[in-house]
Amino acid sequence: MDEEEIKYFVRVRNTDLDGTKAVHIALTGIKGIGPHTSRTITALAGVDPHAILGKLDDGSVERIGNAVDTYTEQVPDWMVNRPKDIYTGEVRHLLGPDLTMMNDDDVNRMRKMRSYRGIRHETGQKVRGQRTKSTGRTGTTVGVKRKKE
């Protein structure tokens, strides 16, 4: 293919990906797909991870889309981002807006049951045990004032 035939936007899983990047880097543009997952998807699709996404033919892009859709069935349970769904108990890998919505639901559930993490989320404090004495300050900043001459 010539340099002129590059597609600058490639649509995969209702997301526009940057066609000028390598396949394994461009796939990380989908929320819920990180570097390790993108490498796995390219291997499942049989596509070179270092190839430029915009230069791939339509068949390869379709194979990548199918690999993204069937990712949960093709990998072990420890490789998905939701190994046991709290409501259904099934193994799922959430992508895009589904992931954002499920995270919001999880936080709201923790708030409703008044768990420690839920209360920390509610008050806007650190949730994962970080120190808060000197870092993570919010609100009005208090600095050192210089003396007027």
| Alpha carbons 78 and 50: distance in angstroms, whole number | 26
Residue 74, CA distances (Å) to 71, 79, 86, 105, 108 in order: 5, 10, 21, 27, 31
Q: pTM of the predicted model, to two decimals?
A: 0.80
Q: What pLDDT is recorded for position 149? A: 75
Burial of 17 (0-12, 13-18, 19+ CB in 10 A): buried
Distances from the Cα of 14 to the Cα of 25, 36, 85, angstroms: 17, 21, 23
Top CATH class of 3-77 equals mainly alpha
Domain borders along the chain are: 3-77, 79-123
> Along the 149 residues of the chain, how does pLDDT read in single tens digits?
455 688 899 999 889 999 999 999 999 999 999 999 999 999 999 999 999 999 999 999 999 999 999 999 999 999 999 999 888 999 999 999 999 999 999 999 999 999 999 999 999 999 999 998 888 777 766 677 778 77
pLDDT at 142: 67
Task: Write out the two tokens for 1.
Answer: 């293919």
The predicted structure's pLDDT at residue 74: 94
Q: What's residue 4's pLDDT?
A: 60
